[in-house]
Amino acid sequence: MKVDLFTFGESLSVFITTDSDSVLTGKFYERVTAGAEVNVAVALARLGLKSKYFSRFGQDQLGEVMIKDIAAEGVDISTVKRVPFFTGAMVRNPGKDAPVETTYLRKGSAASTIEASDISDEFITNARWVHTTGITCAISESGAAAVAHALARAKALGVKSSFDLNLRRKLWSDEQAAKVLKPLAKDVEFLIGGESEYEVVFGSKDAKSVLKDANDRGCKIAVMTNGDQPLRYSINGEFGQILPPKVVAVDPVGSGDAFTGGTIAGLLSGMDELTALRQGSRSGARVASMFGDWTGLPTGSGGVINEDN
């Protein structure tokens, strides 16, 4: 079946304290399913597009309930694999009155065994867009090989792709990240990263020069985000800024993925690049204004946000 987006990576069962803004004092937790790549897949599904998501899940109850969560959002998970490893998890506070603090339970997880052979040419040719992130590179060497393979095959097969730097310092060092991620940050339709991520990978946080460098490396649309501050972009060498919508930030986790998903959906709908970035910014702000990675994701049709959102 032809889909609009194919993406892959690790989904996590996220356990969030509900009675305290600290894991140190919390006794009650809510469990949700989340993860950078699956967040993007859900964002497109909410906007009326078809998305396909691949991962490896453990043969455990967490894996089972997470697969159900993703399927319930209308994402195609028909090719996921169940393997004899544990399903990854994360524990965190909600970040309402204190900074978000995360604890990962993912080293040696089922998804960390993802490998290049999992990503078939059929997955890529049956999609209009392939999305990848640096998190999959961080969880294992085989994950990094899978990302490199997917991006290379997408280019060879003429399928548009995107790469989110998504640096996770709890998974690896800046030096390791730069060594792996910089060679991948090229020849994509859409490159996304935060100010500090570009500094690690490209050696500078000067937006104009770094984004131009990304354009010169074959990244048509290069974007540097910085929370609720102006979003800097360069489209084929044309530099500009977008001021995100002003919202009361309730939970910033997942807002970057919502931005990415909203932008990709806009591009697939036929929007020009700047209009798509504005839609992505609107989607990201909406998610930041509500609790949870998926809660605030806007709905729409054909990749365009409904006006009543």
pLDDT per residue over 8-44, tens digit each?
999 999 999 999 999 999 999 999 999 999 999 999 9
What does pTM read for this prediction? Answer: 0.95
Three-state secondary structure call for residue 81: strand
**What are the percentages of helix, strand and coil residues in the chain, rounded to 5?**
40, 25, 40
DSSP 118: G
Give the C-alpha distances (Å, rounded to integers) separating 221 from 252, 253, 258.
Answer: 23, 23, 17
pLDDT-derived band at 250, boundaries 50, 70, 90: low
Residue 88 lies in a domain: no
Residue 133 lies in a domain: yes
Residue 12 lies in a domain: no
Residue 271 lies in a domain: yes
Residue 170 lies in a domain: yes
Residue 191 lies in a domain: yes
Q: How much is the mean pLDDT over the chain?
A: 94
Residue 166 CB: number of other CB atoms within 10 A? 24
Residue 85 CB: number of other CB atoms within 10 A? 18
Give the C-alpha distances (Å, rounded to integers) separating 68 from 102, 111, 295.
Answer: 24, 17, 17
Question: What was the pLDDT predicted at 248?
Answer: 64
CA angle at residue 193 from 43 to 302, to 5 degrees? 25
Residue 33: enclosing H or E segment and its boundaries?
A: strand 29-34
| pLDDT tens, residue by residue, 213-226 | 999 999 999 999 98
Task: For residue 132, give the CATH number of its domain.
Answer: 3.40.1190.20
- Tally of domains within the chain: 1
Could you tell me the residue range of the domain that residue 271 belongs to? 3-7+36-60+112-305
Residue 91: enclosing H or E segment and its boundaries?
A: strand 89-92
Residue 27 lies in a domain: no
CA angle at residue 173 from 169 to 174, to 5 degrees? 90
| pLDDT tens, residue by residue, 198-209 | 999 999 889 999
Residue 96 lies in a domain: no
| pLDDT tens, residue by residue, 89-145 | 999 998 888 888 999 999 999 999 999 999 999 999 999 999 999 999 999 999 999
| pLDDT tens, residue by residue, 140-187 | 999 999 999 999 999 999 999 999 999 999 999 999 999 999 999 999
Q: Comparing 97 with 211, which gets the higher pLDDT?
A: 211
